[in-house]
Amino acid sequence: MPWYLQLALRQLFPKGRRWPSFFFLLSVLGVSLGVMILVITQSVMGGFDKEHNAKMIMTSGHADVNAGGSVMHNSGALIAAISARPETLAAVPYAQGIVMLTHGNHPAFPFIRGLDLSQPRQVVPVGELLIAGDIADMDDDAVLLSSRLSQAIGAWVGSTVEVYTPLMIEKLKADEVMLPRRLRVCGIYETGWTPFDSNTMVCSLPLMQDLYELGDGIHGISILLRDERDESVWKYARSLGAELGRSQRVQTWMDMNRDFLWVLALEKNMMMFLMLFIILVASFAIAAAQLLTVLRKTREIGLLEAMGARPLHLGLLYCFQGFFIGLAGTLLGMAGAVLALHYRDPVIATLAAITQSQAALEQFYQFSHLPVYYDPADFILISIATLTISTLAGLIPAIRAAYMKPAEALRSE
């Protein structure tokens, strides 16, 4: 080991002493707290992202084949071809649109999706999402309402709702008398995904085709894949897109939610950027402690120069100490973060109990427990940033040490 590394370690961990130097501990503590907060923030944000992603996939599948809003007719062969691909787990045709819904005096304009519920494997597991009612009661005169929509119009299982489609309104303009379609509410579903829960409803595909007068037409096919890794989904979409040509568009769930995902990524990156300032503040502690060490060791530095030490090696002696403080702080901070996240639920439960905010947490965040996702990329990025900042913090004292004149250093009091 080069002498400057050996001496750097010895200065941080003096021989014969049980504890490292006080300044070392203080600097490490500062860095570890910064790293801990960064890891916790990024892992919780990652957890939220994963939860959001899972909800997006649950409500739209991994991929979607559509004609850009146009109606696709005679799609049986296409559905069969997609289903026959080994990567495909399920392929369910759908038709969708907006309707006017009324229940008593309460109108709403929900988004309605008609699903082919005869498919053995569904993309959207509506049956599992029901909080009231039974999917077995579903027929071509029944609908499922999202939980917030049902609340908004005051409908529940067994209620009858009236539906007006845009086609009916067109006919009304032509002075035709159109009666609304009366449908039975046979279930209420909740996904935990606000955009889907707030104002949507589900019906059978034949009912939707009837409401929109599509004949055998559909608006698209939702696809669920066996391998849900992002790269596999992209690969599948590219390969299917190439096979289908320009007549149909293949979109992944990431394409369909691009804006939202961009906001999530921006939010996470901004959090990382802001939290990095904590590390920056800690780096000042490192710089101050190291500068103090250099001042304390001035005559020792003079001696090393007298013995033949090169300025570069003297600089490395203190730069390495900054690096080592960063390394120790990073490891300690990461371990602390993982430990804190491991016990997050009891901590949150205690805090919620003290502040009586458990209900508010569940209402606004829709997660009964704090989700966490450890992304190796976050750990690598945080480590690199912390080690770079810590090493740079050791640079100012290092430069001071490197440019000391030996005679002056030895003379110093």
Partner 1 sequence: MNTQGEIILRAEALAKGFTIGTARVEVLCGADILVRAGKSVSIRGESGCGKTTLLNILSRMENPDSGLLQWQGREVAQIRPARLARERGRFMGMVFQSYYLVPELDVIGNVLLAAKVAGMKADKARARELLERVGLKERLFASPLTLSGGERQRVAVARALMNRPALMLADEPTGNLDEKSGAVVMDMLLAICAEQGASLVLVTHNRAFAARADESLVLHDGRLIPA
Task: Give residues in contact with partner 1 (CB under 8 A).
Answer: 2-3, 6-7, 10-11, 14-16, 299-300, 302-311, 313, 405-407, 410-411
Closest C-alpha to 252, from 227, 280, 270, 269: 227
Residue 7 or 224: the one with the smaller Cβ distance to partner 1 is: 7
Structure tokens at 151: 């609340």
Smallest distance, partner 1 to C-beta of residue 316, A: 13
Q: What angle do CA 390, 396, 402 make, to 5 degrees?
A: 120
Residue 1 or 354: the one with the smaller Cβ distance to partner 1 is: 1
Q: Which residue has the tokens 């996939």?
A: 57
Residue 57 or 314: the one with the smaller Cβ distance to partner 1 is: 314
Residue 6 or 269: the one with the smaller Cβ distance to partner 1 is: 6
Smallest distance, partner 1 to C-beta of residue 5, A: 11
Residue 133 or 322: the one with the smaller Cβ distance to partner 1 is: 322
* Residue 136 burial (CB count, 10 A): 9
Q: Which residue has the tokens 């300025």?
A: 311
Name every residue whose Cβ is closer than 8 Å to that of residue 265 and which is 6 or more positions away in sequence. none
318 contacts 290 by C-beta, under 8 angstroms: yes
Which one-letter amino acid corresponds to residue 49?
D
CA–CA distance, 116 with 206 (Å, rounded to integer):
8
82 alpha carbon, distance to own chain's centre:
29
CA–CA distance, 323 with 383 (Å, rounded to integer):
11
Smallest distance, partner 1 to C-beta of residue 326, A: 20
Residue 225 or 402: the one with the smaller Cβ distance to partner 1 is: 402
Smallest distance, partner 1 to C-beta of residue 13, A: 8
Residue 125 or 406: the one with the smaller Cβ distance to partner 1 is: 406
Name every residue whose Cβ is closer than 8 Å to that of residue 152 and which is 6 or more positions away in sequence. 106, 108, 199
C-alpha distance from residue 174 to each of 105, 123, 212, 240 (Å): 26, 39, 17, 43
Closest C-alpha to 95, from 112, 74, 109: 112
Residue 214 or 309: the one with the smaller Cβ distance to partner 1 is: 309
Smallest distance, partner 1 to C-beta of residue 407, A: 4
Residue 150 or 321: the one with the smaller Cβ distance to partner 1 is: 321
Residue 7 or 341: the one with the smaller Cβ distance to partner 1 is: 7
Name every residue whose Cβ is closer than 8 Å to that of residue 182 and which is 6 or more positions away in sequence. 160, 161, 162, 163
H/E segment holding residue 160: strand 160-164
Closest C-alpha to 151, from 343, 9, 328, 363: 363
CA–CA distance, 80 with 82 (Å, rounded to integer):
6
221 contacts 132 by C-beta, under 8 angstroms: no
